[in-house]
Amino acid sequence: MGQARTAVTRPYRFYGRRQGKKRSGRQQHLLDSVLPRVLVDSGQLGDGDRPLWLEIGFGGAEHLLGQARANPGVDLIGCEPFLEGVVKALDGMEAEGLTNVRLHAEDVRPLLDGMADAVLDRVFVLFPDPWPKSRHHKRRLVSTQTLDSLARVMRDRAGLRIATDHMGYARWILSHGLRHPAFEWTAERVSDWREVPADHVTTRYQSKLLAGSEPLFLTFRRRDRAPGGEEG
């Protein structure tokens, strides 16, 4: 198994603020007492026999918890820097007794840097901030650098699902995904990106804030590595 990469300092963030309204006593308890028990250790990932999935930016955690509930034989990592989302994930994990979820409550890039090669079986990036202004495009999560990192830590033929309701970002995602040598777009017909996948867990954000829009679900597959580590 390959070695983890050395973390580097990044000059910008993919997200805005980390905190919203003042937290209640229970919410603070979840952050202080429960979160430390479920924090992911990237250096220990990939040692087990169970499939390992990652959701980057899980928001209110409905999709993360729904996938964990529907797939008890899978281990999931949820990455979300916004603490209100982290609290919702912790609350749901405690209420339902879900033991197959671990959290990373920071920027995803150090997490990816710390992973060994080829440990992830599936990755979800659902409705990331489109950062629509041109001067903010450098903040977009989907980039050549992010795809490079994901290509290293994803197993051969692992799936990457990216959803967006922003057409400009959809074109950006396709442009970056199609030209990256480690990924192939799996779509064969229009319905493959316009219809909601059968195993998707619809969130309140998608139901309410995206009402009237037509979200697109773009699915890529990690190409097989050729002998010697080159892309197939």
pLDDT at 67 over 80: yes
Helix (H, G, I), strand (E, B) or coil at 65: helix
- Mean pLDDT is lowest, of 30-34, 51-55, 142-146, 201-205, for 201-205
Q: Check whether 62 has a pLDDT greater than 50.
A: yes
**Whether pLDDT at 3 is above 60:** no
**129 included as an active-site residue:** yes
The two structure tokens encoding residue 118: 């080829």
112 in Cβ contact with 45 (< 8 Å): no
Average pLDDT estimate for 8-33: 67
Catalytic residue among 107, 129, 165, 192: 129
Least confident of 62-76, 85-99, 212-226: 212-226
Dist CA 59 CA 152 (whole Å): 25
DSSP conformational letter for 205: I
Strand partners, 122: 53, 159
> The domain at 25-222 falls in which architecture?
3-Layer(aba) Sandwich (3.40)
What is the rounded CA–CA span in Å between residue 12 and residue 64? Answer: 26
The band of 231, judged by pLDDT with boundaries at 50, 70 and 90, is low
Residue 180 has pLDDT above 90, yes or no: yes
Distance (Å, whole) CA 201 – CA 217: 12
pLDDT 10s digits, 96-133: 999 999 999 999 999 999 999 999 999 999 999 999 99
**pTM across the whole model:** 0.88
Instruction: For residue 99, give every residue at least 6 positions away whose Cβ sits within 8 Å of its Cβ, in sequence order, or none.
Output: none
User: Would you state the pLDDT for residue 230?
Assistant: 62
In whole angstroms, give the CA distance from residue 217 to residue 214.
Answer: 10
Query: E strands along the chain, which residues?
Result: 52-56, 75-79, 101-104, 120-126, 154-164, 183-185, 216-222
